[in-house]
Structure formats: structure tokens, C-alpha cells
Amino acid sequence: MTSPPVEDAAVVIRSGRVAWVGAEASLPAGDEVPELDAGGACVVPGFVDAHTHLVWAGSRRLDFEERLAGVPYAAILERGGGIHSTVAATRAASFESLVAATEARARAMLAHGTTTAEVKTGYGLTPEDEMRLLDVIGALDVPLRVEATYLGAHAVPPGADRAAYVREVVETLPAAKERGARWCDVFCDRGAFTVEEARAVLTAARSAGLGTRLHADQLASIGAAELAGECGCASADHLDHLSQSGAAALAAAGVVGVLLPACTLTLRTGRWDAARHLREAGATIALGTDCNPGTSWCESMPYVIQLACLAYGLSVEEAFRAATLGSAAALRRSDVGRVDVGAWGDLAVLNADHEADLVAHLGAAPVHRVIVGGVPAG
């Protein structure tokens, strides 16, 4: 994806990393290695999913049906639904059942061509439960490259004192890093955490040695994108209500804008302007599934790529770049999302001979085979 497509190509992978890539006719002589024949299919870098909430228990099907019937989310929360029901079910689930459920979702992601994914906590909302979710992420036994994110600031638990809860999240940051978190995220939006509260958490996270990312301007434009730029976050995610000034702030600070079109579709907001704002500002665009039980039950990056083209209006090339190089940039990684010498040998073999067919062929099984570090997965 960093250079023009190569026809009749070959990729040599040794010790898990790309050692050579080019036209098969120019394949250098060398040691015999096992060969996998793609049969003329299109081979792309393994997809990088920059935003998921993969660890949860329980079901939100009633929420989904009620939203379709026009019930406001506030009313769903009042009856104990929404995120509150997921938190209750996740707290009640055994460690083993959480690992098994999360591994099943991770394997579904792999089957759809994802080879690297960010995975958040956020359905525990107490220090003990959030640490347990980090332990679940650390216990996953799947050939998926995982970036763990601590999202204690996902919501304020019912009945909790806001200021005390923000202090609790801040105090837990060093422990989160010790338990394997690389990132800290905050849901900064109307009805979630304010800009001032998010700034306090992000500042403390940097001091604790964690990278920072931000749920920003999903529900309203409250200055969250500007905060992401101010704090030098790796990414600002959702951005359904992104303003032109917010996009300019992201571009100026080198913050990647992560778009989550499956969530926007599920919530039926009709907010599809963020990609245009990011493009016009010159910001890097990434994509993610936002896989979660309530607003984006989706493990498929190919579906997200389709939505990015059909709803946001990205070109096929832009969407594939956003799902690979863009998402890798959102995770500050240069070793995934590309087929270059030195990168991990992570590939998706499509059920097509051109990447545009993945977008055009709706409802199809888009991925034939997935390679992680030179080894077939699944």
C-alpha cells in the first residue's frame, strides 16, 4: 500500500518478517521455504483495527430493538440497559468465560483479515474489575497482535461521585500499565466526561508512561478534538460531530482521526462529514470496527471498508490505506499495515483478484486466507 500494486507478485517471509517483495519473475534464488500459492488472488496487508471494545459479557439485543422502535438512549439507561447492563454482566462473568468469549471475537476478526487490533477495557468501572479485564486481554491465546488500552474513564458508574471517580481512574493508571496497558483512553463527550476531566486523565496517563487516545465528538462538538490535539494524543476516535476547527487541530498536532462507520450506521445519526473534514485539513485517516455489544457489533474490517467508501465517500485506495497504514499510525506502529521489508509478514488473501471487488461485492465472504508472521491463521 506504500507503492503501486505489483502484478504477479511474490512475498518472502523469514522469521515472521517480510524479507523480500516484488514480481515473482524477479524472485531471488535462496533457501527453500514453504510456499503458499494465492492462486492469482489479491493479497493486501493484514488489516489493523484501531478501535475495539472486545471484552464483554451479556447481550444488548433489547437495546437494539428499542432503538429501532424509537426509544431514546436515556430511557434505555433509566431501565438499567445500555452500558450499565453490559457492565453488570461483565462483572458477573467468570474470568474463563470472558477469555473464551473474547477469543471467539478475536478469531472472527482474524477470519475477516484483521491481524492487529487495539482492545479496550471499559466494562468494569471499578479498579479491580478494570484490572481483571486487562488480565483477560493479556490471557488471549490467538494469533492476533493486540494493543491493550485502559478505558476506566468510559462512564461514571451509577451513584458514584464524579470527581472521586476521576481521581480513582487517575490513581489506577500506574497499575494499568503494570497489567499490560500501552494506552489510556477517555470518553470525552456530552453525557460522558468533560474536556477538563479528560485533560486531567490524559495528563496523568502521560506521566504514568501510557500513550493517549480519545473518544472525541461522537455525540456533540464539545472541543474534544481540540483537546486531543492539545494533549498530543495518538488518535481521536468517532468524530461524528467533528468541526473544521477540530479537524485542523488534529492535523496540526499529527493526531490520527479514527472513523468508526459501523457505529455511525447503527446509531442512524447520518453524520458522514468527518472524513471530508479530515481530508481537507490534511489529517491522517484510520478505520476501526468499534466492536462492542451495544452500538457496533461488528468484527469485520472489510465491512468497515465498504462503509467508508459508500457512506463517507472514500476512494477504494483511501479506505484500504486507512484500514492498514492509517490504523497502524493510530497505534504508532510502523511494523504492521504494510508489506515492506522488515514489517511483520501479516497478509490477507482476498476472495478476489482486485481490492475494489471487496468493496463492490456486498454480502460476500471477502477473505480467503489470513497469514500472521508468515504462518496461516485459523
Domain coordinates of the chain in residue numbers?
9-44+339-376, 47-57+93-330, 58-89
Q: Is residue 167 packed enough to be buried (19+ CB in 10 Å), middle (13-18) or exposed (0-12)?
A: middle
Residue 333 corresponds to which cell in the numbers above? 506502529
CA 149 to centroid of chain Cα atoms: 10
What is the CATH class of 47-57+93-330? alpha beta
**Helical residues (DSSP H) of 208-332, grouped into ranges:** 224-231, 244-253, 261-267, 274-281, 301-307, 316-321, 327-330
**Helical residues (DSSP H) of 311-378, grouped into ranges:** 316-321, 327-330, 355-360
pLDDT for res 2 = 47
* Separation between Cα atoms, residue 144 and residue 205, nearest integer Å: 25
Coil, strand, or helix at residue 193? Answer: strand
Residue 300 corresponds to which cell in the numbers above? 469485520
Residue 220 corresponds to which cell in the numbers above? 456533540
Query: With respect to CATH, is domain 9-44+339-376 assigned 3.40.630.40?
Result: no
Q: What is the pLDDT along the chain (378 residues), one digit of tens a residue?
A: 445 788 989 999 999 999 999 999 998 887 677 899 999 999 999 999 999 999 999 999 999 999 999 998 878 888 888 999 999 999 999 999 999 999 999 999 999 999 999 999 999 999 999 999 999 999 999 999 999 999 999 999 999 999 999 999 999 999 999 999 999 999 999 999 999 999 999 999 999 999 999 999 999 999 999 999 999 999 999 999 999 999 999 999 999 999 999 999 999 999 999 999 999 999 999 999 999 999 999 999 999 999 999 999 999 999 999 999 999 999 999 999 999 999 999 999 999 999 999 999 999 999 999 999 999 997
Determine contact, residues 212/202, Cβ cutoff 8 Å.
yes
| DSSP strands (E only) in 52-144 | 114-120
For residue 335, how many other CB atoms are within 10 A of its CB?
A: 15
Q: Is residue 371 packed enough to be buried (19+ CB in 10 Å), middle (13-18) or exposed (0-12)?
A: buried
> In sequence order, what are the residues at sequence separation of 6 or more whose Cβ sits closer than 8 angstroms to the Cβ of residue 288?
49, 50, 51, 52, 118, 237, 258, 259, 260, 304, 327
Determine contact, residues 102/54, Cβ cutoff 8 Å.
yes
> In sequence order, what are the residues at sequence separation of 6 or more whose Cβ sits closer than 8 angstroms to the Cβ of residue 351?
41, 364, 365, 366, 367, 368
pLDDT for res 79 = 87
* Separation between Cα atoms, residue 291 and residue 299, nearest integer Å: 6
Which amino acid is present at 302? Answer: P
pLDDT for res 93 = 98
Q: Which residues pair with 238 in a beta bridge?
A: 216
Q: Which helix (H) or strand (E) holds 150?
A: strand 145-153
Report pTM.
0.97
pLDDT for res 33 = 76
Determine contact, residues 371/36, Cβ cutoff 8 Å.
yes
How far the first Cα of the chain sits from its last, in Å, is 24
pLDDT for res 31 = 66
